[in-house]
Chain A
Amino acid sequence: MTTTRKLAVVSAGLSQPSSTRLLADRISAATTAALREQGIEVEVTTIELRDLAQDITNNLLTGFAPPKLESAIESVTTADGLIAVTPIFTTSYSGLFKSFIDVLDPQSVTGLPVLLGATGGTERHSLAIDYAMRPLFTYLHAVPVPTGVYAASSDWGSAEDALPGRIERAAGELAALVAVSDRSQQVRDPFALPEGFSPVGSFGAQ
């Protein structure tokens, strides 16, 4: 195994600057630091979904990803780890975030370690990570780490260690999985036929 790992960061914040991006960057920095401590180099690709919003809609309509979106999808699906951060809108991940997930091939993030992050106006929505985001990634057979990181507006002005502490803990959990991942080294055959496939079918050769 090489000692470079690929980390993808997806931020679904809509405003610029956005607290979602701010949280994503903090988590990304903490994860990178945790990996470097183990002597592992990290290549980080940060994806702002806002920049891809039209491409994502077009992909939903036409079935194919325009070049910029295709390269973002490639970064996510071939990463050793993903940091996914969304604002919580109306009790759940944002529509743009879900639309991005919807244009991924559902098989393509199998086994991908994911750190779930979310932002919101009040801390009352913090459980959205666990009742909305976590099932989404579990369905996709990704591997969400146990600690999710939720940042309410008030966290950015808090002297307590709650947010930095959670970021540290979650980043440590993600780094441990990323360190042993070989996802970014895997060669994927888009034309791999299913096990046992026969061009004449199971009965046809009779």
Chain B
Amino acid sequence: MQFGIFSVSDITTDPTTGTTPSEAERIKAIVTIAKKAEEVGLDVFALGEHHNPPFFSSSPTTTLAYIAAQTSTLQLSTATTLVTTNDPVKVAEDYAMLQHLSDGRIDLMMGRGNTGPVYPWFGKDIRDSIELAIENYALLRRLWSEDVVDWQGKYRTPLQGFTSTPRPLDGVAPFVWHGSIRTPEIAEQAAYYGDGFFANNIFWPKEHYMRLIAYYRQRFEHYGHGTAAQAIVGLGGQAFIRPKSQDAWTEFRPYFDNAPVYGHGPSMEDFTEQTPLTVGSPQQVIDRYAAMRDYYGDYQRQLFLVDHAGLPLKTVLEQLDILGEEVVPVLRKELAKDRPADVPDAPTHASLVAKAYNGGPAREARPNANRGDNLSGDRPYQDSAAPAGASFGLAATRKGN
């Protein structure tokens, strides 16, 4: 079971002081937060992607690579990578690159994004959002698994004889989660590929996510990846913790009341009752989150949102201390109790390599001499599978040559 944090990368005015951090301050702060997460014993740091203010994280791989260089065990992920508006070719390249630099400590969470104008800014149409997520991801998978890709789709220019470089580390693509809050098509997609499914679990009542996760588990089994109980589930969560519950309520209330998502709406009393947001003592947070598996089944990854709504860095770091020292160690024990032995852990690079090679040596991709393109020679890497004839054109149809 992995525990960690995820950030949407918002730059929000602290409602108690009226101060807004600069982009420079917030960007440095996120690095401090990620390093702190590792220091206090958390497993995962995931960063969002946005292309409009007040968010800073337009380029997650840059940030994650910088964090990877300063950490040693932290698993780095995204929350989410915009599979709709990013070119899947660039996603394949960027994250394979990050995978190499981080020694395999990365995975990705695909999401469609909910900011309308981002689609036209990147030449897309939000009405195609689901189709884009399906098609782009299908291409991404092929770019990671095949050395030479001929491809034609509806939403990007066709590819003939394209090789995405670098090849994934050890010839094993990063593990992928799919994040969705309401879309059965995405749960179906995650189940089809045997990928993970992540429910953000923070804005809405848990019943809503329970239905979607139950559907994903059932379809995971349908597609033959294992039993429903073995499907790879991740959950978000949200807590504000102080040793005394009343202190947590008093301190967090102005942030809640002015928060970008739910501020000026429901009372904190109603919202904490109706959604997984938990404000209180470490024990209250433990009780709430230890019970999650009763609703969702045994799961693999729990991420908390801690650095949002204008909370100052100092407070966020204190939250991480409490989370790492008092909450997560107990949750680890609680969630390990009676966990069936056949429920897997979240896949990591090491586990994927072991599975792919069954203990044998992993692939080391060594390019052949530069031919200036991928088309004129027979194969781009010394160990690439020999193509059946030319990789495009008429010859490409002569399968089995």
User: Which residue of A has the minimal Cβ distance to B140?
Assistant: A204
- Is the C-beta of B357 less than 8 angstroms from some C-beta in chain A? no
Interface presence of A203 (CB below 8 A): yes
Is there a chain B Cβ closer than 8 Å to A71's Cβ? no
Interface string of B193-236 (1 = CB under 8 A from A): 10000000001110010011001000000000000000000000
Whether A62 is near chain B, meaning CB under 8 Å from some CB there, is yes
Q: Which residues of B contact A67 (CB under 8 A)?
A: 274
CB distance from A16 to the nearest CB of B (A): 23
Q: Which of A57, A63, A199, A206 contacts B193 (CB 8 A)?
A: A199
**Are A61's CB and B188's CB within 8 A?**
no
User: Which of B29-37, B261-269, B314-322 is the contact stretch?
Assistant: B261-269
Give chain B residues whose Cβ lies under 8 Å from the Cβ of A63.
203-204
A199 with B203, Cβ < 8 A, contacts A61-B262, A62-B262, A204-B135 known: no
Alpha-carbon separation in the docked complex, A58 to B263 (Å): 10
Q: Does A191 contact B (CB under 8 A)?
A: yes
**Does A15 belong to the interface (CB within 8 Å)?**
no
The smallest C-beta distance from A108 to any residue of chain B, in angstroms, reads 14
Which residues of chain A are within 8 angstroms of B187 by Cβ–Cβ distance?
191
| A58 with B134, Cβ < 8 A, contacts A190-B184, A199-B188, A203-B152 known | no
| Cα distance A67–B264 in the bound complex, in angstroms | 19
Q: Give B205's nearest chain A residue, CB to CB.
A: A64
Q: Check A199/B211 contact, CB under 8 A, given A64-B205, A191-B184.
A: no
Q: In the bound complex, do residue B154 and residue A202 qualify as a contact, i.e. CB atoms below 8 Å apart?
A: yes
Whether B266 and A62, one on each chain, are in contact in the complex, defined by CB atoms closer than 8 angstroms, is: yes
Complex: A200 Cα to B136 Cα, angstroms: 9
In A189-206, the 8 Å CB interface with B consists of 190-194, 197-206
- Interface assignment of B123: CB less than 8 Å from any CB of chain A: no
A66 within 8 A of B: yes
CB interface residues, A 53-109, toward B, < 8 Å: 57-58, 61-64, 66-67
The answer for the CA separation of A27 and B84 in the assembled complex, in Å, is 49
Verify B274–A66 contact, CB threshold 8 A: yes
Find B138's partner among A61, A190, A203 (CB 8 Å cutoff).
A203
With a CB–CB cut-off of 8 A, which chain A residues contact B211?
Answer: 190-191
**Contacts A201-B135, A204-B134 known; A66 to B266 CB distance under 8 Å?**
yes
Considering the complex, give the chain B residue whose CB is closest to the CB of A197.
B185
Are the CB atoms of B131 and A201 closer together than 8 Å? yes
Q: Is B139 an interface residue (CB 8 A)?
A: yes
Contacting residues of chain A (148-193) with chain B, CB-CB under 8 angstroms = 190-193
| Interface residues on chain B, size class | 20 to 34
Nearest chain A CB to B228's CB is how many angstroms away?
A: 14
B249-261 interface code vs A (CB 8 A; 1 in, 0 out): 0000000000001
Let me know if B189 is at the binding interface, CB within 8 A: yes
A206 to B270, CA, bound (A): 50
A203 near B154 with CB under 8 A, answer yes
Task: State A111–B193 Cα separation when bound (angstroms).
Answer: 37
Cα A202 to Cα B192 with chains together (Å): 15
Residue B151 interfacial (CB < 8 Å):
yes
Q: Is B153 an interface residue (CB 8 A)?
A: yes
Q: Are B192 and A193 in contact (CB under 8 A)?
A: no
A57/B188 in contact, CB under 8 A: no
One of B153, B191, B193, B270 near A201 (C-beta < 8 A):
B153
Residues of B within 8 A of A193 (CB): 184-185, 188
Minimum C-beta distance from A8 to chain B (A)? 22
User: Most chain-A CB neighbours within 10 Å: which of B191, B203, B266, B270?
Assistant: B266
Closest to A54 in B: B266
Query: Least Cβ distance of A173 to chain B in Å?
Result: 36
Q: Are A200 and B262 CB-contacts (below 8 A) given A190-B184, A191-B184, A193-B184?
A: no
Tell me whether A201 and B138 are in contact in the complex, defined as CB-CB below 8 angstroms, given that A62-B261, A190-B211 are known contacts. Answer: yes
What CA separation (Å) do A193 and B266 show in the bound complex? Answer: 32
Q: What are 25 A-B residue pairs whose CB atoms fall within 8 Å in the complex?
A: A57-B265, A58-B265, A58-B270, A61-B266, A62-B261, A62-B265, A63-B203, A64-B204, A67-B274, A191-B184, A191-B187, A191-B212, A192-B184, A193-B184, A194-B185, A198-B134, A199-B192, A199-B193, A200-B134, A201-B134, A201-B135, A201-B138, A204-B134, A204-B138, A206-B151
Known: A191-B187, A193-B184. 17 other contacts (CB 8 A): A61-B264, A62-B261, A62-B265, A64-B274, A66-B274, A191-B212, A193-B185, A197-B188, A199-B134, A200-B138, A201-B135, A201-B138, A201-B153, A202-B135, A203-B151, A204-B135, A206-B152
* Contact surface of B with A, Cβ cutoff 8 Å: 131, 134-135, 138-139, 151-154, 184-185, 187-189, 191-193, 203-205, 208, 211-212, 215, 261-262, 264-266, 270-271, 274-275
In the A-B complex, list the 3 residue pairs whose CB atoms are closest, starting with the nearest: A204-B138, A61-B265, A199-B192
